[in-house]
Structure 1
Amino acid sequence: MRIVLDLQGCQSVSRLRGIGRYSLALAKAIVRNAGNHEVWIALNDLFPGTVEGIRASFEGLLPDERIVVYSLPRFSVYQGDSDWRNVAAVFIREHAIAELEPDLVHISSLFEGYVDESISSVKTFDQDTLVAVTLYDLIPFLNPEKYLTDVGFKKHYYSKIEALKRADLLLAISGYCGEEAVRELGIAQERIANISSAVSENFVIHALTDVERRALHGRYGITRPFVMTTGIVEPRKNLEGLIVAYAKLPSKLRKQHQLFMVCQATEINRTKLFDLAAENGLAQDDLVLSGYVNDADLVALYQSCELFVFPSLHEGFGLPALEAMACGAAVIGSAATSIPEVIGRDDAMFNPLDLKQMADMMQRGLSDNEYRQSLLANAAVQVPKFSWDATGRRALDAFEKAMAAHGRRDRPIGIDAALALPTAPDAIADSRFSALSSAESRYRKLVTALTTLNLPVSDADLIASADVIASNQRTGRMPQLLVDVSVLCEIDAKSGIQRVTRAIARKLLELPPSGWEVRLVRLDRSVMVYRYANKFMHEFNLGPRGVSDEDDWVDSAQGDVFLGLDLVADCVPAAEGWFAAQRRRGIKVYFIVYDLLPVAQPEWFPGFIAAVFPPWLTTLSTVADGLICISRAVADDLRAWLDANGSERLRDLKLGYFHLGADIENSQPSIGLPDNSAEVLTALRSRPTFVMVGTVEPRKGHLQAFAAFEQLWTENVDVNLVIVGKAGWGVDDLVKRLEAHVDQNERFFWLQGISDEYLEKIYEVSSCLLAASLGEGFGLPLIEAAQKGLPIIARDIPVFREVAGDHVFFFTGNHANDLASAIKAWVVLQKEGREPASTGMPWMTWQESTEQLERVMFEAEWYGRWINSLPAAAKP
């Protein structure tokens, strides 16, 4: 059975109350105990701030792709059925959930939507799918003069009662609650299941030291042993009755104790309660009122109270009594509605309207130690009867019975599985066609329903509704891998990152991951929103792709993946809203991290780059699901940076790495040779030639290298130095030296902006690659040199060790003499045939590199995770 849990009760204002806690705990219990059933969760995108927390709550319990965020058009808070947008939102929500092809939908909180943008309905648009609703109580229905005084809310509430009656199944949180539904609403008993309730796993006995106890009591103004209760200030909670009953205790007993109420009273209500206490002879410090109490303190207060009293007149379940018992409190309570089911002991119950009886029972609980110990013993027996797993299993059992009662059987195979089968028997093929027909039928039904509403509607409302309907449609859609080429499609600087972006983008387009559509995308910097890079994609000349020639806005949906392949460090923070919206909707967001050098060594880079990198990394640590580095060394650096600077997260951040490819011919290489290429190549063949490849910039080690070769030439060591790379930043003085050097085009050659074709020929005539860089993300020139069998001298840094192993000659030191000595030592080894051979160095083609990247993204070959820095107490 495919079960969809509508968890708006964990998104609306109810998330801060008992309904939200119950909704989340029940959903988790259903997921834990689902067995062969397929559970999905549906969330409303009009509550964007709640989505990530709910996803975090189910991490490790439910695949993230099973948490669906449906889109709704914005609408005015409660306008009822007289407003087109409200009615449209009802239809669109039911259609969006129907797109998941559920067998049964469970609504955790039906009575939402009067003061916020919750939308809950039962069989308004989709009359076929079974609907179950949690029933907490009927208190407003039974007491309209107290709770339904607002005309608008009264209409809203009664409309929900009618919806409740249409539900196929009610999950009552207590036996009494179910009996009320039968008695007051005329709902058949067989449509109601008592699934009960339980306490959070936080509510258990913890050892309290004397110091902790004194600090706890001091925070809340408690100075003596105390009698405790919890409940908001409203008539049914009967707090006034408890105050009067407490005042009836013997004077000596009152002086030994305080009455402590966790009630979050307004200033007006505080005054009323204190006045009532004074009128009944209580001293100023006999009554202590508290506002909000966090769970940790609430557990400690339950545990340290002398007696917990629950005097409520009407409860759907009576959770505070069970919480107190679970924390080791002696509990007595009202013999009303569902409370006896919770406490489970007749001589611990009192008539909540008989204040003398309530006082007598409190006196016994405080004075009779044997009785008090028996209450504690009863709690130890009673509490284990209530567990969320048992409640979840009861809900699942009720779902199965509802399915059976309606003559429905579990589907033999999920529609997603059927669509994924490479070959399918006729029966499956028929089901595919049926599913597609069903989706088309649903869509046409929705359009008809919306266009025939006899209510005023604007063009803007119609456009907004069409947009969200499109985003909710799921059937027949192939997931997209959205590959960012924002910089490359504007200007190809032919630098290392552009070469990587071009090569991997090409390989992904040539051979997409199975079941995926690869689309190139670019950031529209005018609005910080992504467009398809269709025009640029056509430049790869890979044949027709069936996409527009225009760069339309990206149309993403749950299940898509965004890959930040290009480096757009200056704009990603400004586009954080777009990325956050994608993640809320279930699009996985991954970024490639090439290196952390601009934050580790900002002096090596122009001020602009050094300035944009820290906010870029901070944004990535906030909006990404995973960061994929181009080497293990970079991944280790990234983890260290995150430990020191990472953002607070509700879910762990996945960290991965892959290695770059090195087959230049498969990275769409540039071609062309300058007129003097033959003369240059002849000169390079004439003596041992050392080649450096990379932009001339501070971190590449050109300054040390050139000084080392000047020393060698002074010592009459007959060698060439070739620098392949454009002039970069921070090296103005070095550039002047290079351009004016006496050995220019004799023993020293500086080749700027050359093609990949020319670079290949330079490799062929060179004797050794010199990799003097002080820091790299990968070190692609080492691989390219090894492919040609070119020996290598490299600085001893972690990433070069990772890439090259024992296949290069390593040097250390930052002075010219250090490198000059290393070169002379290498020359001696080379003459003796003992220099390290690069030919055994492992390397990948760009196809293999791309496949390794795909395995990280799609087969979870992650290196590790960066653990959340958010304190556990702050997580849902």
Structure 2
Amino acid sequence: MRIVLDLQGCQSVSRLRGIGRYSLALAKAIVRNAGDHEVWIVLSDLFPDTIEDIRASFEGLLPSERIATFSLPKLTPYQGAHDWRARAAELIREYAIAELEPDLVHISSLFEGYVDTSMTSVKAFDKTTLVAVTLYDLIPFLNPAKYLPDEGRRQHYYAKIEALKRADVLLAISEYCGEEARRELGIPASRIASISSAVADSFVRLEQNDADVRKLYSRFGISRPFLMTTGIVEPRKNLDGLIVAYSKLPKELRQRYQLFIVCQPTDLDRTRLNELARKHDMSADELVLASYVSDRDLIALYSQCQLFVFPSLHEGFGLPALEAMACGAAVIGSATTSVPEVIGREDALFNPLDLDQMADMMHRALTDEAYWQSLRDTAPERVSKFSWDATGLRALEAFESAYAQRSGAELSTGSSVIARKSAESRYRSLVGALSRLGASGSDIDLIASADAIAANQRAQRVRQLLVDVSVLSAFDAKSGIQRVTRSILLSLLNSPPAGWAVRPVRLDRQEMAYRYANDYLRSVNAADAEFQDKDEWVDTQQGDIFLGLDLIADTAPAAVGWFTAQRNRGVQIYFVVYDLLPVLRPEWFHEGIALCFPSWVETIARVSDGLIGISRAVIDDVKGWLEGAAPVRLRDLKLGYFHLGADIENSQPSSGLPDNADKVLEALRSKPTFVMVGTVEPRKGHVQAFAAFELLWADNVDVNLVIVGKAGWGVEGLPERLSERAEQDDRFFWLQGISDEYLERVYGASSCLLAASLGEGFGLPLIEAAQKGLPIIARDIPVFREVAGDHAFYFEGDTPQALADAVQAWIELDRTGLAPSSVKMPWLTWKQSAEKLNEVVLEGKWYQTWGKLQGDPAKA
């Protein structure tokens, strides 16, 4: 079966309550025990801040591509049963889930959407797919005067009750809850499965030293040992009763033990409860009220409390009591509804309406050490009877039973009740259902709904590989990064990965959102007919991939909202990193790059699913930076690398020769010629190299030096010196802005490549030289070792003399035939380079991951 779990219960206001914890734990248990079933999770895009947390919760359990979001028109909290947009959203949600073509949909929390923008429904649009619902309790149904005080809330709740009755499977969280549904709602027992509950694995007794306890007490305003309960401020939790019962304890006990209540009180609640305590002669320090408490602190409090009291009048299960027992607390509680199923011993139960009896049991637990110890000793055995895996298996058995029953009915009748509609017929059915809603929505309603429908259409869609060409599409300066971007893009377009549509995209710098780069696509004669439109906004879907191939260091931080929204939709975000040198050695770069590059790195480290270096050396630098910067992430960051291609003819090479090309090439051939390729800037080593050759020329070493590259920055008066020397000397040549065709000929006329760079991301000239069989002298840095291996002669030292000596040593080795040869040095074509990139991005051949725990200061 394909099972889809709607986890809005982990997104809504319920995420801060037991329902949120239960929903998440049950979903994990279902995923762990699914076997051959295919499990998906769907989330609402109306709660964007919750999506990454939930994805992180399932890391390692469920492939990220199986966590999808559905889009709804923007809603406001409950607007009434006849609100057009809300009714349309019901249909659109079911349509979005139907696009996944599930066999069964499970709703973790049906009774949502009155105080927030959750949207749940059962068979409002999709009448045939099996629907399962978790039922926690029927408390408002049984006590409408207390819990349904106004007409809007009543309408909303009773509509959910009717939806509950339409569900094919009801998962009751306790035997009592299931029996209540059968008795009060008339739901057949055959559709009800009691699946029970359990506690998260993290809920175990926490050993704390005196310092830990002091910090805990200080954090929550506790001054001495304490009794404890948890529960929001509402009548059924009976917090008032607990306060009054506690006030009946002898004063010496109250002076020894405070009453600590985790209840998320409003200011009004806090005032009322404190006034109740004062009214019953409690001193100001006897009652401590706490707002939201993290699970980590809750475990510490459970572990430290002297006694946990659960005075609730009505529970669907009673998870806090089980959590406290799991943490080693002595627990007593109500003898009502489902609580006895949890606590499991009669002598630990009291009538929650008999406050004297509650007080007597608290008194016994606080003064009778043998009784208190027995409560603690029996807790582990009781807790062991509850398991999330067992709960998940019971849920799966209920799903399987309903599916088998449906399939059996089909076999016996010879009809297919659940025959799947085509994507087209499903869409037409939705349009028809929306048209039958009655009074039409406003134009704004219709536009919002249309946008949501379009975003939800996923059936039969081809996944997109979105390749960033933001800089290249604006102006091709023929730089190294742009050559990579152009070459990889063309390779991908010419040989698209099976099942993927390759689409170049560009950043709209005014809106900080991406458009398709269709105009650029046409400019490189690669546009298919279907992409003839103008550069419209990118339309993404879960499962697409964004590849940050171009370098947009100056604007990526401002576009973080777009990247975050795409990740929420289930788009994988990957960036190519060419090097980290502007961060590691900012003095090598002009101020603009040095200033913007750190924020670019910080941004991509936060918004990416993976970073891909153009060499192992680059990604090792990235990992080193991550270790130092420790960006806070909720999921692991994948790290990979690939090598660049080097067949210039497949990168749209430029052509053209200057008038003096033949004369220059003849001069290069006339004597040993050393060629340097790269922009004249500090890290490229031109200052050292030029000074080294001046030493050689002064010693009458008859060699040429040719520099191929534009004038850059940060090399003081070097460009002027180079220009002057090139005009006066037939042993030095500076070729600026030459074509790829001319560069090919220069390589062919030279004797040796000199790679003197102090830092590189890859070192493409080494590959280009090897293609021509040109020997290589290279500085001994990790990336050059990675690229050239034993096929180059390496030098160390940063003085002119050190390099001059290395050149003379190489000349001697070359004269005797012992200089390392580059002929057999391995290299890739651009097609092969793109294939290696695909292996990382599409096939998951990552180098390593950087763990989220390393970047989370809370875990340190």
TM bin, normalised by shorter chain, reads over 0.9
Query: CA 1:682–1:870 in 2, change beyond 3 Å: closer, same or farther?
Result: closer
Aligned equivalents of 2:495, 2:391: Cα separation in 1: 49
Is 2:108 aligned against 1:96?
Answer: no
- Indicate which of 745, 763, 766 corresponds to 2:750: 766
Instruction: Say if 2:825 is the partner of 1:841.
Output: yes
Rounded Cα–Cα distance in structure 1 between residues aligned with 2:33 and 2:469: 44
The one-letter amino acid of 1:760's match is E
Judging changes above 3 Å, is the alpha-carbon distance between structure 1 residues 262 and 81 closer, same or farther for their aligned structure 2 residues?
closer
Inter-partner Cα distance in structure 2 for 1:529 and 1:291: 39
Is residue 2:368 matched to residue 1:374?
A: no
Paired position in structure 2 for 1:502: 486
Give the Cα separation in 2 of the matches to 1:729 and 1:410. Answer: 76
Aligned to 1:265: 265
Query: How far off is 1:642 after superposition?
Result: 1.7
Q: Which runs of 5+ in 1 are unaligned?
A: 412-430
List aligned pairs for 1:704-743, cutoff 5 A.
704-731=688-715, 733-741=717-725
How well do the aligned residues superpose, as a CA RMSD in angstroms? 2.1
Structure-2 change in CA distance of 1:547 and 1:216 (3 Å): closer
Q: Judge conservation of contact 1:635–1:656 (CA < 8 Å) in 2.
A: yes
Equivalent residue number for residue 68 of structure 1: 68
Amino acid at match of 1:768: C
Instruction: State the distance in 2 between where 1:547 and 1:214 align.
Output: 66
How far does residue 233 in structure 1 lie from its aligned partner after superposition? 2.8
Alignment of 1:510-529 (within 5 A): 510-529=494-513
Q: TM-score w.r.t. structure 2 length?
A: 0.96
After the TM superposition, which residues 109-508 of structure 1 pair with which residues of structure 2 at under 5 Å, given as runs?
109-407=109-407, 438-508=422-492
Find the residue that maps to 2:530 and give its secondary structure: coil
Task: Give the superposition deviation at 1:545.
Answer: 4.9
2:626 aligns with: 642
Matched letter for residue 176 of structure 2: Y
- Give how far 1:117 is off: 1.4
- Contact 1:83–1:455, Cα closer than 8 Å, also in 2: no
- 1:217 Cα deviation after fit: 3.7
Instruction: Report the counterpart of residue 798 of structure 2 in structure 1.
Output: 814
Look up the SS of the partner of 2:81 in the other structure: helix
CA distance in 1, matches of 2:459, 2:298: 48
Q: Per-residue displacement from partner, 1:49-85 (whole Å, max 9, x unpaired)?
A: 1111111100110011111111111133222332221
3-state DSSP of counterpart to 2:531: coil
User: Is the 2:631–2:855 Cα contact (8 Å) retained in structure 1?
Assistant: no
Q: Distance in 2 between matches of 1:84 and 1:207?
A: 55
The structure 1 residue matched to 2:562, chosen from 562, 578, 582, is: 578
Asked if structure 1 preserves the Cα contact closer than 8 Å seen for 2:627 and 2:854, the reply is no
Residue in structure 1 matched with residue 44 of structure 2 by the alignment: 44
Deviates more, 1:349-358 or 1:719-728: 349-358
Residue in 1 that maps onto 2:581: 597
SS of the equivalent of 1:308 reads strand
* Counterpart AA for 1:867: G
Are the equivalent residues in 1 in contact too, given 2:195–2:391 (CA < 8 A)?
yes
Evaluate the alpha carbon distance shift between residue 687 and residue 258 of structure 1 in structure 2; reply closer, same or farther with a 3 A threshold. Answer: closer
Measured in 1, the distance between the counterparts of 2:755 and 2:534 equals 43
* C-alpha spacing 1:164/1:752, structure 2 compared with 1 (3 Å): same
Structure-1 separation of matches of 2:792 and 2:74:
62
Q: Is the 8 A contact 1:103 1:130 kept in 2?
A: yes
Query: Are the structure 2 counterparts of residues 458 and 229 from structure 1 closer, same or farther at C-alpha, using a change threshold of 3 Å?
Result: closer
Q: Residue 650 of structure 1 contacts residue 870 of structure 1 at CA under 8 Å; is this kept in 2?
A: no
Please give the alpha-carbon distance, in whole angstroms, between the structure 2 residues aligned to 1:108 and 1:131.
11
Distance 1:516 1:354 in 2: 68
Give the match's secondary structure for 1:591. strand
Q: What is the DSSP-based 3-state SS (H/G/I as helix, E as strand, rest coil) of the residue aligned with 1:546?
A: helix
Contact 2:556 2:600 (C-alpha < 8 Å) held by counterparts: yes
Cα distance in 1, alignment partners of residues 447 and 276 from structure 2: 58
Q: How far apart are 1:164 and its partner, in Å? A: 1.1
Shift of 1:286: 3.8
The residue that corresponds to 1:824 in the other structure is 808
Amino acid of the structure 2 residue aligned with 1:789: G
Does the 8 Å contact 2:521/2:527 carry over to 1? Answer: no
What is the distance in 2 between the residues matched to 1:801 and 1:409? 68
Aligned equivalents of 2:695, 2:461: Cα separation in 1: 65
Distance 1:628 1:252 in 2: 66
**In the aligned structure 2, how far is the partner of 1:393 from the partner of 1:631?**
46
- C-alpha spacing 1:748/1:262, structure 2 compared with 1 (3 Å): same
Matched, 1:33 2:17: no
| Letter matched to residue 836 of structure 2 | Q
Moved more, 256-265 or 704-713: 256-265
Residues 668 and 749 of structure 2 are in contact (CA less than 8 Å); yes or no, is this contact kept in structure 1? yes
Answer yes or no: is the 8 Å Cα contact 2:560–2:607 preserved in 1. Answer: yes
Q: Indicate if the aligned counterparts of 2:91 and 2:124 stay in contact, CA closer than 8 A.
A: yes
Rounded Cα–Cα distance in structure 1 between residues aligned with 2:553 and 2:276: 64
Match of 1:424 in 2: none
Per the normalisation by structure 1, the TM-score is: 0.94
Shift of 1:743: 5.6
Structure 1 residues 678 and 269: CA distance shift in structure 2, 3 A = closer
Amino acid at match of 1:858: L
CA offset at residue 252 of structure 1?
Answer: 4.9
Q: In the superposition, relative to structure 1, how do residues 408 and 587 fare at CA in structure 2: closer, same or farther (>3 Å)? A: farther
Question: What secondary structure is seen at the aligned counterpart in 1 of 2:472?
Answer: coil
Q: How many Å separate the matches in 2 of 1:302 and 1:596?
A: 47
User: Residue in 1 aligned with 2:741?
Assistant: 757
Assess, with a 3 A threshold, how the Cα gap between structure 1 residues 391 and 636 changes in structure 2: closer, same or farther. same
* Alpha-carbon distance, 1:620 to partner: 0.5
Summarize the Cα distance change of 1:664–1:287 in structure 2 as closer, same or farther, 3 Å threshold: closer
Equivalenced residue count is 853
Which whole-Å deviations, capped at 9, do the CAs of 1:275-306 have from their partners, x for residues lacking one? 43344444444444333333333323323333
Q: Are residues 1:606 and 2:590 paired?
A: yes
Identity %: 68
Q: Following the alignment from structure 2 to structure 1, what is the Cα–Cα distance between the partners of residues 641 and 725?
A: 42
Change (3 A) 1:255 1:757: closer
Greater Cα offset, 531-540 or 754-763 = 531-540
Residue in structure 2 matched with residue 423 of structure 1 by the alignment: none
Q: 1-side partners of 2:221 and 2:617: how far apart?
A: 55
Pair 279,611 (structure 1): closer, same or farther in 2 beyond 3 Å: closer
How far off is 1:611 after superposition?
1.3
**For residue 74 of structure 1, what is the amino acid of its counterpart?**
K
Separation in 1, partners of 2:651, 2:409: 53
* Post-superposition offset of 1:706: 1.3
Deviation at 1:182, TM superposition (A): 1.5
Which whole-Å CA distance do the structure 1 matches of 2:843 and 2:710 have between them?
Answer: 39
In structure 2, how many angstroms separate the alpha carbons of the residues matched to 1:325 and 1:484? 54
Cα distance between partner residues in 2 of 1:819 and 1:410: 83
Question: Does 2:752 match 1:778?
Answer: no
Amino acid at match of 1:27: A
Distance 2:408 2:45 in 1: 31
Shift of 1:351: 1.3
Q: Which letter maps to 2:74?
A: R
* 1:129 to 1:741, Cα distance in 2 relative to 1, 3 A: same
Which one of the candidate residues 541, 548, 564 is aligned to 1:564? 548
Note the C-alpha offset of 1:243: 2.8
Q: Alignment partner for residue 864 of structure 1, among 830, 835, 848? A: 848
Q: Secondary structure at the match of 1:643?
A: helix
